[in-house]
A and B are shown apart, each in its own frame.
Chain A
Amino acid sequence: MKSVDIISTLRSLPAPEPDAGRMRRTLRLCRAEYRARRPLRRVGAWELMRRQLRFTILPVWALQGALLLFICLALGAARPAEELIPASASLAAELAALTALPFHSRARRYGMEEVEAAARLSRAKLTLARLGAAAVGDAVCVAAAALLSGGGWYVTLVFVATPFLLTTAVSLAALSRAGGVYSAICLGALMALGYYAAAASWSFDMLRISPLLAAGICLAAIAAIAVEMYAEIRGNGMEKRLGYEY
Chain B
Amino acid sequence: MRDGELFELLEAGDISALDELIGAYYPEILRYCLRHTPTRECAEDAAQETFLNCVRHIEAYVHRGHFRAWLYKIAANACADQFRRAKDSAEPPERAADEPGYERAELKADLERALAKLPAEQRELLLLRYAHELTLREIAEIRREPMRTVQSRLRAALKALRKLM
Contact = CB atoms under 8 A, between A and B. Distances in A.
User: Does A touch B (CB under 8 Å) in the complex?
Assistant: yes
Interface of A: 1, 3, 6-7, 9-19, 22-23, 25-27, 29-31, 33-35, 37, 39-40
A35 to B, nearest CB: 7
Chain A interface mostly: helix
Say which size band chain B's interface belongs to.
Answer: 35 or more
Nearest to A12: B108
Interface in B150-164: 158, 161-162
A1 B133 CA distance: 21
Chain B interface mostly: helix
B30 A18 contact: yes
Contacts, number: 88
Contacts of B59: 39-40
B133 A33 contact: no
Interface in B78-106: 97, 99, 102, 104
Contact of B22 (A12, A19, A30): A30
10 contacts: A10-B131, A13-B112, A13-B131, A14-B97, A15-B31, A25-B48, A27-B18, A34-B15, A34-B58, A40-B59
A23 B26 contact: yes
Contacts of A7: 130, 158
B26 A26 contact: yes
Contacts of A11: 130-131, 133
B111 interface: yes
A18 B30 CA distance: 7
A1 B106 CA distance: 14
B34 interface: yes
B124 interface: no
A14 B131 CA distance: 9
Contact of A10 (B19, B52, B102, B127): B127
Contact of A27 (B22, B102, B104, B131): B22
A9 B111 CA distance: 8
Contacts of A15: 27, 31
Contacts of A26: 22, 26, 47-48, 51-52
Interface string B17-34: 011001100110011001
Question: 5 nearest interchain CB pairs?
Answer: A10-B130, A40-B59, A26-B48, A33-B55, A1-B165
Interface in B118-147: 126-127, 130-131, 133
B26 A18 contact: yes
A28 B28 CA distance: 19
Nearest to B41: A22
A6 B55 contact: no
Nearest to B163: A1
A40 B130 CA distance: 36
B97 A16 contact: yes
A14 B133 CA distance: 14
A23 B50 CA distance: 12
B78 to A, nearest CB: 12
B126 A30 contact: no
Nearest to A25: B48
A27 B19 contact: yes
Given A15-B27, A15-B31, A16-B30, A9 B108 contact: yes
